Amino acid sequence: MTASSAASSAAPPPIGVEERGRRIDALRRAMDKTGAAATLLGSTTSLRYFTGVVWSPSERFCGALITPTRIDYVAPRFELEKVASLVTLEGDILTWEEDESPYRLIAARQSSGAVALDPDLPLFMYRGLRREYGDERLADAAPLIAPLRARKSPAEIALLQRAKSITLETQRRARRFLREGVMASDVARFIDETHRGFGGGGNTFCIVAFGADTSLPHGPEKDRALNGGDVVLIDTGCRVDGYNSDITRTYVFGDPTPKFRAAWEAEKEAQAAAFDAARRGALCESVDAAARRSLERRGYGPGYGLPGLPHRTGHGVGLDVHESPNLVKGDATPLDTGMCFSNEPMIVVPGEFGVRHEDHFYMAADGPRWFTRPAASLDDPFADAPVFN
């Protein structure tokens, strides 16, 4: 299947109140099945997912308590006005002063039944809640939240598409920006400016690696200049209404060696094998296995052995760059409609180079669909990518 042609479409609308209300209803149905009396969300992306409130995490608890009949927002008293301005789903705002315990406030409000905790709450907050509730009343909300967040709605798919189209065009322009002697940090700044120019809010992350540094999956610690003949690996992303892109392109600034060209083609084949294995009902780990079989036929591996693929084939993506489930051995989650994944079975040749093609796909009713077209060829990786404007 081909990638969406939405690269030049108007920006999609942000997630609205009606969709967030449906998410809350789905969470309440999941709570009912498990017997949870409430779900407590901290200052995490799950708070944004369900309520639309975006709050930077700190040592002060700010979040929401969701029960079958109400939403209670919990905030420091001096932040009341700001939190109130962010609330779109109706609910009371419970506040605590600096010399008071937010955990005692939460326990007083939800005095009975099991409370499922946001899995991204920091440990010190869990300990504070544990002092009020005891272990027997605290549960993990991950089994309630993760299945809901894993299956993206059409509105989420549209936002993800926008973010990825912006980053693919940014990648294309970054290649044209390269010149002999340019520093990796200068390329990263150019990418940030380009993301911002397209409304992507700047880089959420950016790896720019040259030469042997490309064999480090998450890039080098030191800046360096680009030389003729260097392998170039750029892995970067942005956000649109909180939804993430994460795209990697690898090519050569100059003439590739036969060894690198062979690896580049092997990587392209492995990425295609993973995509072809992604069928509704197939297990996540089967996609990883398909990529590794492809690489092993080319002499890489086996398993995580190098030269070869040292990490999972892909990860879920949404409001977090890395979400569950993952395309990795041991993840037996069946692929289902709305799930979104990276597809990046990197080849690492230690001390020489790395090759990573990373594009994302989502599961439609009739199978996988690319958000962005994979790199066309080593010599012209952006040949058939739609132009974003």
Judged against a pLDDT cut of 60, whether residue 56 lies above it is answered with yes
**pLDDT in the model for residue 2:** 40
Ramachandran bin of 372, using left for φ above 0, alpha for ψ from -120 to 50, beta for the remaining angles: beta
Please, are residues 273 and 320 in contact by the beta-carbon 8 Å criterion? no
318 and 266 share one domain: yes
99 and 139 share one domain: yes
CA angle at 357 for the pair 356 and 360, rounded to the nearest 5°:
130
157 and 238 share one domain: yes
Q: Does residue 69 lie within any of the structural domains?
A: yes
Domain containing 82 — which CATH number? Answer: 3.40.350.10
Give the pLDDT mean for 24-48: 98
Q: Does residue 2 lie within any of the structural domains?
A: no
Q: How many domains does the chain have?
A: 2
89-131: pLDDT as tens digits: 999 999 999 999 999 999 999 999 999 999 999 999 999 999 9
> How far is it, in rounded angstroms, from Cα 12 to Cα 192?
22
Domain containing 271 — which CATH number? Answer: 3.90.230.10
Q: Does residue 295 lie within any of the structural domains?
A: yes
Model confidence band, residue 334 (pLDDT cutoffs 50, 70, 90): very high
Percent of the chain with pLDDT over 90: 96
Give the pLDDT mean for 155-180: 98
Cβ atoms within 10 Å, residue 96: 19
Question: Phi/psi at 18 (nearest 5 deg)?
Answer: -60, -45
315-325: pLDDT as tens digits: 999 999 999 99
**pLDDT in the model for residue 1:** 38
Chain-centroid distance, C-alpha 119: 16
345 and 235 share one domain: yes
- Residue 334: DSSP 8-state: B
Judged against a pLDDT cut of 80, whether residue 9 lies above it is answered with no
155 and 79 share one domain: no
Judged against a pLDDT cut of 50, whether residue 4 lies above it is answered with no
36 and 21 share one domain: yes
128-141: pLDDT as tens digits: 999 999 999 999 99
Q: Does residue 117 lie within any of the structural domains?
A: yes
Least confident of 87-96, 298-307, 378-387: 378-387
- Residue 91: DSSP 8-state: -
> How far is it, in rounded angstroms, from Cα 173 to Cα 234?
12
Ramachandran bin of 301, using left for φ above 0, alpha for ψ from -120 to 50, beta for the remaining angles: left
Q: Distances in Å between the alpha carbon of 123 and those of 54, 65, 131, 140, 148?
A: 21, 18, 13, 13, 24
CA angle at 282 for the pair 280 and 285, rounded to the nearest 5°:
135
Percent of the chain with pLDDT over 70: 98
In terms of DSSP H, where are the helices of the chain? 17-34, 45-51, 80-86, 102-109, 123-133, 142-150, 154-177, 184-197, 258-277, 284-297
Q: Does residue 296 lie within any of the structural domains?
A: yes
Q: Which of 114, 149, 184 is the last residue of a domain?
A: 149
> How far is it, in rounded angstroms, from Cα 75 to Cα 64?
9
State the first-to-last Cα distance of the chain, in angstroms, to the nearest integer. Answer: 23
Cβ atoms within 10 Å, residue 42: 21
Judged against a pLDDT cut of 90, whether residue 8 lies above it is answered with no
Judged against a pLDDT cut of 70, whether residue 5 lies above it is answered with no
Please, are residues 33 and 20 in contact by the beta-carbon 8 Å criterion? no
Q: Does residue 375 lie within any of the structural domains?
A: no
Residue type, 30: A
Q: Which of 149, 178, 199 is the last residue of a domain?
A: 149
210 and 355 share one domain: yes
Containing structural domain, residue 96 = 17-149
Judged against a pLDDT cut of 60, whether residue 6 lies above it is answered with no
Average pLDDT, the chain: 96
Helix (H, G, I), strand (E, B) or coil at 240: strand
Ramachandran bin of 58, using left for φ above 0, alpha for ψ from -120 to 50, beta for the remaining angles: beta
Model confidence band, residue 381 (pLDDT cutoffs 50, 70, 90): very high
